[in-house]
């Protein structure tokens, strides 16, 4: 009894150490969204007025649990609207309950085969490993993983009560197991894998000495009964929403219709198995953590080598069944591929981590004697250290989310709740943990403020985009609407001498459009006369220098938006030819300092340009005269010819999703006959329409040394324009 008490105390200390970074961390933007949006949500396409392709449905039990957490754990602090410690403590309790239930199930599963001593030891090891598993960290950290935790805990206890009821012939326990299975179905669709697990358990561990024909019949009956219980919520959702309510994981499994899709999912499954074997975050624990995880896995498997000598057939079937269960569990979430670089997605692997914990609990206790205690203890200790390392990034990510929310609150206080706020270069993922995810718009939701819950106005519109995306937006007509709405931009924090941000973000208001007046071109001096230029309306400066101007060094231009003529920005340009009067082009539209510096008063040409034959501002880059892209499979093709200002450049395609403000560039490849192939562009645009609804604006740039000197643009407004047979 004293030994058990000591082991329990040691386990609690390890648990406190493993999860202490999470219990000190605040909430992320996705956590706020999970607490605010605990309800059935239509997809983005449905919200935009299009026919929904699918509906994300929070199952009722998960919705109820999150609503209770939202009401019980409110905070009066503006920066932290909820008590993060209490919310995550609930997740941790569910993880512990699931681990204990998993241990009881494993004990019942092993009793007919290994005897009570080995079964009890394996059960304790399984419960401890599952509760401290490094991949359980994301499930505890993410409020949105409440469904996975509920379903895993209820499913584990359903399995434990099922085997106990079948082995002891207690129908009441079997009926209770079916009820828990149905409740788990109302928590998360991953419970659809539970009936298969229970039918196999019935076949091999319920009454294993009965004839095979009888065991097969009862296993099939178990599969049918529990599949009906596990499908109850899915059936009700189907009746309410139709086929669009199909769970994302099941939908991804059913949509495999090509060899390419199959290969992609096979690679994803292999990656998930690798993460289960090496559950260490290399961005925090470095190579030493990955090596330690591998050493712990080999240490856990070592006892099997000795045990397999006396029962090779038994252990062969055990290892085969373990691997099959691991692969099957990863198939439940084909829609999400977690990687060590995206640890925040690893909560989807909680069922797989449970299967892994059962196997490790069984393997580490395969040998009798003192090794049955020391080896599991070593694995549990090592996993607790890895879990602590995996939990560390949440603290930094939460601080980044809190700082951003604090800045957004200041903007709302100054500009009002009706303002639109655009965050340029939002905080990026920190060691695999994204502070914002896709929920940046919820950071100023009225539901986060007690006084705002009953407010008449809606949430302040908040969007996040990279600087490159905003610069792409400056060439689209949607910019005018943002200017009419007096959108406030939060600019990236300026870096200090050590490369770290030296201060907070600076807020800049986009003033409504006012037409530029006065001169737009000049001759003679390298310094312009007094100008009145709207920088959002002009993006190019073309200069024809005087004879004899040296082209050895790149030309430079500076500008000022203030009457005292202080330089506000500098940009390097590119020479276009080496004629007697060399021509230079400056793509001012590639500079945030130009776009957001206010109305320009003066321009200064620097370097070798002392006088100009002519200099003038133009609204857009010279045209490439390229046609519309043709879709061939997953790629785009653009037909020649392309009239380029100078040889030696390269073509780059930019894709800007106007719905979710994402931006990506793809280098074009010159094919035979001068055709340009843009690999993967058609597939990427089709994916954008599937997830956000589009439209997608595109640009084809001709760049010299990374500077655009010519461009053509267009947009895709319907999915059929970019669909590919792949």
pLDDT attached to residue 413: 86
Residue 550, pLDDT above cutoff 90: no
Average pLDDT over residues 264-288: 87
Contacts of 23 (CB under 8 A, 6+ apart): 85, 88, 89, 92
Per-residue confidence band for 666, with pLDDT thresholds at 50, 70 and 90: very high
Report the C-alpha gap between 563 and 538 in whole angstroms: 20
Report the C-alpha gap between 220 and 200 in whole angstroms: 9
pLDDT attached to residue 163: 93
Contacts of 665 (CB under 8 A, 6+ apart): 468, 652, 653, 654, 655
Report the C-alpha gap between 394 and 344 in whole angstroms: 9
Q: What top-level class would CATH report for the domain 521-618?
A: mainly beta
Instruction: State the CB neighbour count (10 A cutoff) for residue 22.
Output: 26
Report the C-alpha gap between 91 and 127 in whole angstroms: 16
Per-residue confidence band for 588, with pLDDT thresholds at 50, 70 and 90: very high
Report the C-alpha gap between 184 and 165 in whole angstroms: 19
Report the C-alpha gap between 4 and 637 in whole angstroms: 69
Q: Where in the chain is the domain with CATH 2.60.40?
A: 521-618, 630-721
Residue 725, pLDDT above cutoff 50: no
Residue 627, pLDDT above cutoff 90: no
Instruction: State the CB neighbour count (10 A cutoff) for residue 494.
Output: 11
**Nearest in space to 354 (alpha carbons), one of 68, 490, 160:** 160
CA trace torsion 152, 153, 159, 165 (10° rounding): -160
pLDDT attached to residue 56: 61
For 667, counting Cβ atoms within 10 Å of its Cβ (0-12 exposed, 13-18 middle, 19+ buried), the class is: exposed
Give the helix/strand (H/E) hosting 613: strand 611-618
Q: What are phi and psi of 178, to 5 degrees?
A: -65, -35
Per-residue confidence band for 450, with pLDDT thresholds at 50, 70 and 90: low
pLDDT above 70 covers a percentage of the chain that reads 90
Q: Where do runs of H (alpha helix) occur along 445-551?
A: 467-473, 478-484
Residue 606, pLDDT above cutoff 70: yes
Residue 198, pLDDT above cutoff 90: yes
**Nearest in space to 95 (alpha carbons), one of 57, 129, 61:** 129
- Considering 332-346, 513-527, 530-544, the range whose residues carry the highest mean pLDDT is 530-544
Q: Report the length, in residues, of the chain.
A: 726
Report the C-alpha gap between 79 and 530 in whole angstroms: 46
Angle at 627 between CA 624 and CA 629, to 5 degrees: 115
User: What are the angstrom distances between the C-alpha of 555 and each of 291, 520, 524?
Assistant: 52, 20, 16
pLDDT attached to residue 539: 92
Residue 262, pLDDT above cutoff 90: no
Instruction: State the CB neighbour count (10 A cutoff) for residue 521.
Output: 15
Report the C-alpha gap between 219 and 213 in whole angstroms: 10
- DSSP calls for 106-155: HHHHHHHHH-HHHHHHHHHHHHHHHHT-GGGHHHHH-GGGHHHHHHHHHH
Average pLDDT over residues 22-39: 86
Instruction: State the CB neighbour count (10 A cutoff) for residue 404.
Output: 23
Long-range CB contact pairs, 84-88, < 8 A, 24+ = 84/25, 84/26, 84/27, 84/31, 84/398, 85/23, 85/24, 87/27, 87/31, 87/35, 87/143, 88/19, 88/22, 88/23, 88/25, 88/140, 88/141, 88/143
Contacts of 157 (CB under 8 A, 6+ apart): 97, 101, 104, 105, 180
Residue 673, pLDDT above cutoff 70: yes
- 88-97, 119-128, 173-182, 689-698: range with lowest mean pLDDT: 689-698
pLDDT attached to residue 365: 92
pLDDT attached to residue 268: 81
Report the C-alpha gap between 349 and 370 in whole angstroms: 32
Taking only the tens place, the pLDDT of each residue in 630-650 is 898 889 998 877 777 777 889
Residue 660, pLDDT above cutoff 90: no
pLDDT attached to residue 51: 38
Contact by Cβ (8 Å): 171, 165: yes
Strand order in the sheet with 630-632: 630-632, 635-638, 676-678, 669-670
Residue 471, pLDDT above cutoff 80: yes
679 upstream amide cis, omega within 30 of 0:
no
Report the C-alpha gap between 173 and 154 in whole angstroms: 14
Strand order in the sheet with 663-667: 663-667, 650-657, 696-704, 707-716
Report the C-alpha gap between 568 and 561 in whole angstroms: 7
Average pLDDT over residues 571-596: 87
Taking only the tens place, the pLDDT of each residue in 350-383 is 999 999 999 999 999 988 888 888 999 999 999 9
CATH number of 630-721: 2.60.40
Residue 79, pLDDT above cutoff 80: no
Average pLDDT over residues 255-278: 79
Buried b (16+ CB within 10 A) or exposed e, 42-61: ebbbbeeeeebbbbbbbbbb
pLDDT attached to residue 96: 95
pLDDT above 90 covers a percentage of the chain that reads 38
pLDDT attached to residue 563: 46
pLDDT attached to residue 48: 39
**Nearest in space to 404 (alpha carbons), one of 342, 472, 463:** 463
- 365-369, 458-462, 661-665, 701-705: range with lowest mean pLDDT: 458-462
pLDDT attached to residue 567: 58
- Considering 325-334, 564-573, 661-670, the range whose residues carry the highest mean pLDDT is 661-670
Contact by Cβ (8 Å): 205, 108: yes
Q: How far is CA 96 from the centre of its chain?
A: 26
Residue 52, pLDDT above cutoff 60: no
**Nearest in space to 445 (alpha carbons), one of 464, 459, 461:** 459
Per-residue confidence band for 49, with pLDDT thresholds at 50, 70 and 90: very low
Q: How far is CA 27 from the centre of its chain?
A: 16
Report the C-alpha gap between 140 and 92 in whole angstroms: 6
Average pLDDT over residues 682-709: 88
pLDDT attached to residue 174: 93
Average pLDDT over residues 416-431: 87
pLDDT attached to residue 42: 43
Contact by Cβ (8 Å): 431, 392: yes
Per-residue confidence band for 1, with pLDDT thresholds at 50, 70 and 90: low
pLDDT attached to residue 441: 85
Q: What is the 3-state secondary structure (H, E, C) of 51-105?
A: CCCCEECCCHHHHHHHHHHHHHCECCCCCCCECHHHHHHHHHHHHHHHHHHHHHH
Of residues 309 and 229, the one with the higher pLDDT is: 229
CA trace torsion 82, 84, 85, 87 (10° rounding): 80
For 172, counting Cβ atoms within 10 Å of its Cβ (0-12 exposed, 13-18 middle, 19+ buried), the class is: exposed
Name the β-bridge partners of 616: 521, 542
pLDDT attached to residue 564: 47
- 7-21, 504-518, 670-684: range with lowest mean pLDDT: 504-518
Contacts of 169 (CB under 8 A, 6+ apart): none
Q: What are phi and psi of 491, to 5 degrees?
A: -80, 155
CA trace torsion 210, 212, 218, 220 (10° rounding): 170
Taking only the tens place, the pLDDT of each residue in 291-324 is 999 999 999 999 988 888 888 888 888 899 999 9
pLDDT attached to residue 445: 85
Q: State the average pLDDT for the chain.
A: 85
């Amino acid at each position: 009894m004293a030994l058990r008490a000591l082991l329990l105390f040691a386990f609690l200390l390890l648990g406190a150490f493993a999860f202490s970074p999470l219990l000190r961390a605040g909430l992320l933007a996705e956590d706020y969204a999970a607490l605010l949006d605990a309800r059935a949500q239509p997809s983005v396409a449905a919200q935009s007025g299009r026919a929904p392709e699918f509906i994300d449905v929070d199952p009722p039990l998960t919705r109820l649990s999150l609503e209770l957490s939202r009401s019980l754990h409110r905070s009066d602090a503006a920066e932290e609207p909820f008590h993060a410690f209490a919310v995550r403590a609930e997740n941790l309790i569910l993880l512990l309950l699931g681990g204990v239930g998993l241990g009881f199930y494993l004990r019942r599963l092993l009793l007919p085969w290994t005897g009570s001593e080995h079964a009890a030891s394996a059960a304790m090891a399984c419960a401890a490993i599952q509760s401290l598993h490094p991949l359980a960290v994301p499930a505890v950290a993410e409020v949105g993983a409440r469904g996975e935790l509920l379903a895993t805990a209820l499913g584990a206890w359903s399995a434990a009560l099922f085997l106990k009821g079948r082995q002891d012939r207690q129908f009441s326990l079997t009926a209770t197991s079916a009820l828990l299975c149905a409740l788990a179905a109302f928590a998360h669709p991953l419970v659809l894998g539970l009936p298969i697990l229970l039918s196999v358990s019935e076949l091999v561990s319920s009454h294993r000495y009965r004839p095979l024909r009888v065991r097969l019949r009862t296993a099939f009956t178990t599969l049918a009964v529990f599949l009906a219980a596990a499908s109850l919520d899915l059936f009700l959702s189907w009746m309410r929403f139709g086929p669009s309510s199909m769970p994302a994981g099941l939908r991804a499994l059913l949509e495999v219709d090509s060899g390419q899709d199959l290969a992609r999912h096979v690679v994803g499954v292999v990656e998930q198995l690798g993460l289960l074997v090496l559950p260490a975050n290399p961005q925090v624990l470095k190579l030493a953590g990955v090596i330690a995880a591998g050493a712990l896995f080999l240490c856990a498997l070592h006892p099997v080598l000795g045990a397999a000598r006396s029962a090779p057939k038994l252990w062969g079937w055990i290892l085969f069944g373990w691997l099959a269960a691991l692969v099957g569990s990863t198939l439940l979430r084909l829609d999400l591929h977690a990687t060590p670089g995206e640890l925040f997605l690893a909560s989807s692997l909680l069922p797989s981590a449970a299967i892994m914990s059962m196997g490790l609990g069984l393997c580490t206790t395969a040998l009798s004697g003192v090794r049955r205690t020391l080896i599991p203890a070593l694995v549990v200790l090592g996993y607790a250290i890895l879990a602590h390392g995996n939990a560390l990034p949440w603290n930094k990510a939460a601080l980044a989310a809190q700082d951003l929310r604090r800045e957004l609150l200041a903007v709302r206080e100054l500009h009002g709740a009706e303002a639109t706020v655009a965050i340029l270069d939002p905080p990026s993922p920190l060691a695999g943990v994204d502070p914002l995810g896709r929920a940046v718009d919820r950071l100023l939701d009225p539901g986060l403020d007690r006084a705002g819950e009953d407010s008449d106005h809606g949430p302040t519109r908040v969007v996040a985009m990279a600087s490159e995306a905003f610069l792409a937006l400056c060439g689209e007509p949607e910019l005018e609407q943002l200017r009419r709405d007096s959108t406030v931009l939060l600019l990236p924090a300026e870096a200090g001498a050590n490369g770290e941000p030296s201060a907070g973000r600076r807020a800049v208001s986009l003033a409504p459009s006012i037409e530029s007046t006065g001169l737009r071109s000049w001759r003679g001096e390298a310094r312009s006369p007094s100008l009145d230029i709207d920088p959002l309306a002009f993006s190019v400066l073309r200069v024809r220098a005087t004879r004899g101007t040296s082209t050895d060094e790149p030309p430079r231009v500076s500008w000022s938006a203030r009457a005292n003529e202080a330089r506000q920005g500098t940009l390097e340009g590119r020479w276009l030819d080496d004629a007697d009067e060399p021509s230079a082009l400056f793509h001012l539209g590639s500079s945030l300092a130009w776009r957001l510096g206010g109305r320009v008063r003066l321009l200064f040409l620097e370097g070798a340009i002392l006088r100009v034959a002519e200099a003038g501002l133009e609204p857009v880059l010279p045209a490439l005269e390229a046609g519309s892209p043709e879709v061939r499979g997953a790629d785009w093709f653009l037909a020649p010819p392309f009239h380029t200002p100078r040889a030696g450049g390269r073509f780059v395609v930019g894709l800007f999703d106007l719905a979710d403000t994402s931006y990506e560039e793809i280098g074009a490849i010159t094919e035979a006959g001068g055709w340009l192939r843009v690999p993967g562009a058609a597939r990427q645009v089709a994916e954008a329409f599937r997830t956000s609804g589009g439209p997608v604006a595109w640009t084809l740039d001709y760049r010299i040394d990374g500077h655009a000197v010519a461009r053509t643009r267009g947009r895709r407004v319907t999915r059929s324009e970019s669909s590919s047979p792949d």
